[in-house]
Amino acid sequence: MNNLKQTILNKKAILWDFDGCLCDSERIHFLAYEKAFMQYNHILNEHEYYETFTHTGGGVSKEIEKYNIKCDPDLIRKEKAKYYWQLISDYQAKIYPEIPEILSILNKKGIINAIASNSPANEINLILSQHKSENLPIDMIVGLEQGMRKKPFPDLYNKAISQLGIEPSEALVIEDSERGLIAAHEAGCESVWVKTSLNIRFETKTSYISRLTHAEILSALK
């Protein structure tokens, strides 16, 4: 743990994935996709969902192909975005309880806390605005924009690194999925894999320096 603490504190910036890392929102994404697919009389399997939609990616296209669903994937994504916005507008998304203290420790050490997420910035900002009382020291948000490729491509991390004016080696990525770890590796960053109840069964061949729960990350920093 001491080695991990020193590794983290030697970085200039921590680049956080949002869903599943800062925010316990992965099941909310599932519920939104579930509602979108229901319009086509298809029921999502939640156990399968977290692997193909969250961990490895490409979930919508894979789901349509696997179950031979007659629908437009872009329409599914559009409907899902609508339902997801409704859910988070109703204060369904919660920040992980350890996050405020983790961010505060890093901030006091002069380390930048930045978000680089496949989610659009407006969704992230809405959720963060609902947690203002927790005084989360977030210095920058890079969300998915038109023309950018989702993780596992490194576009989001490359943009964050460029905007911060640092080298990839000066940033540590916190991720909860294989596709996020791949994106971090492709961007030239070291990464920590957050362990949650939703991803504990998954493995990856992608490199990372440690796999820890939120509580273990907080403990390592203290």
Residue 36 has a pLDDT of 97
Residues 33 and 66 occupy one common structural domain: yes
The two structure tokens encoding residue 71? 């629908």
Q: How far apart are CA 67 and CA 42, in angstroms?
A: 9
For residues 97-117, give the mean pLDDT: 98
3-state secondary structure of 222: coil
Give me the mean pLDDT over the 183-196 stretch. Answer: 98
Structural element, H or E, at residue 141: strand 140-142
Q: In this model, does residue 1 exceed pLDDT 70?
A: no
Give CA–CA dist 22/174, Å, rounded: 9
| 78 and 169, same domain (yes or no) | no
Is the confidence at residue 2, as pLDDT, over 80? Answer: no
Q: Give residue 212's domain range.
A: 2-25+95-221
Q: How far is CA 138 from CA 24, 83, 214, in A?
A: 17, 26, 17
> Is the pLDDT reported for residue 11 higher than 70?
yes
Number of domains in the chain: 2
Last residue of a domain, one of 89, 107, 127: 89
Q: What is the CATH number of the domain that holds 154?
A: 3.40.50.1000
SS (H, E, C) 58-102: CHHHHHHHHCCCCCCHHHHHHHHHHHHHHHHHCCCCEECCCHHHH
Q: Residue 185 to residues 17, 56, 62, 115, 209: CA-CA distances in angstroms?
A: 14, 15, 24, 17, 11
Kindly state whether residues 133 and 193 are assigned to the same domain. Answer: yes
Which residues, 6+ apart, have CB-to-CB distance to 27 below 8 Å?
A: 198
What does the pLDDT look like over 139-183, one tens digit per residue?
999 999 989 999 999 999 999 999 999 999 999 999 999 999 999
Q: Of 58, 89, 120, which residue constitutes the final position of a domain?
A: 89
* 3-state class (DSSP) for residue 169: helix
Q: Region 75-101: what's the mean pLDDT?
A: 97
The residue length of the chain stands at 222
- Same domain for 100 and 84? no
Q: pLDDT-based confidence at 58, cuts 50/70/90?
A: confident
Average pLDDT over residues 51-58: 94
Q: Using pLDDT thresholds of 50, 70 and 90, give the confidence band for residue 15.
A: very high
**End-of-domain residue from the set 35, 69, 89:** 89
Q: From CA 117, how far away is CA 196, in angstroms rounded?
A: 18
Mean pLDDT score of the chain, rounded to an integer?
Answer: 96
What single DSSP character describes residue 45?
Answer: -
Average pLDDT over residues 199-216: 97
| Residues 134 and 149 both lie in one domain | yes
Please say whether the beta carbons of 101 and 214 come within 8 A. Answer: no
Same domain for 49 and 154? no
Mean pLDDT throughout 73-83? Answer: 96
The two tokens of residue 40 are 């086509």
